[in-house]
Amino acid sequence: MYDNILIPTDGSEPARRSIEHGVDIAERYGATVHALYVVDLQATNYSLGTEQVERLRQGKLSEMPEVREKADEATAAVARAAADAGLDAVEHVAVGSPHDEIVAYIDDNDIDLAVMGSHGRSGISRVLLGSVTERVVRTATIPVLVVDADDENDE
């Protein structure tokens, strides 16, 4: 049923919580785990400036060690959890709009299930910031398991 499971990650606590769920499902099905980190161009524009964003657009992520290190750490956490469960893992870093890049990765890599964390924002912060997870749920053509940031049933 599930041959390829995507766990998008930004290194946050909700993303870390989704790793356990995603790897557990992958282990049950013997699936390959895909770890995806998306460098958000819009957020990077605000924090690093337009010159850095242009470097990212040109595919020069290697020239930005602080950004690359964060991405590599986040995907490595997913890959380690998969390896600990005896599963194959694929790590990938993309640059762009997170929800667009996640959906594109799903479509391009025969992903059967995405497992994503939710920051649990509501009200005005959700309206202003949007929700990557919500957008993926609405636009992906596969099942998306959403792991709530405040889910206490796991412990």
> Which three-class secondary structure string do you get for 23-73?
HHHHHHHCCEEEEEEEEEHHHHHHHHCHHHHHHHHCCCHHHCHHHHHHHHH
More confident residue, 148 or 3: 3
Whole-angstrom distance between the N-terminal and C-terminal Cα of the chain? 27
> In the structure encoding, which two tokens stand for residue 138, read together?
């609405």
**pLDDT at 84 exceeding the cut of 50:** yes
Mean pLDDT of the chain: 84
Kindly report, residue by residue over 26-63, the tens digit of the pLDDT.
999 999 999 999 988 776 555 555 666 666 666 666 66
More confident residue, 120 or 75: 75
Res 154: pLDDT: 45
What is the CB-side half-sphere exposure of residue 42 using CA atoms within 13 A?
7
Res 120: pLDDT: 56
Q: Is the dihedral of CA 63, 67, 69, 75 positive or negative?
A: negative
pLDDT category, 155, cuts 50, 70, 90? Answer: very low
Pairwise CA distance, residues 120 & 54, whole Å: 32
Query: Contact, 17 vs 117, CB < 8 A?
Result: yes
Q: pTM of the full predicted structure?
A: 0.85
What is the CB-side half-sphere exposure of residue 8 using CA atoms within 13 A?
28
Enumerate domains of the chain plus CATH numbers. 4-148 (3.40.50.620)
- The mean pLDDT value for 4-21 works out to 94
Res 125: pLDDT: 44
Q: Give the best-scoring range by mean pLDDT among 65-69, 80-84, 126-130.
A: 80-84
Among 34, 26, 17, 22, CA closest to 106: 34
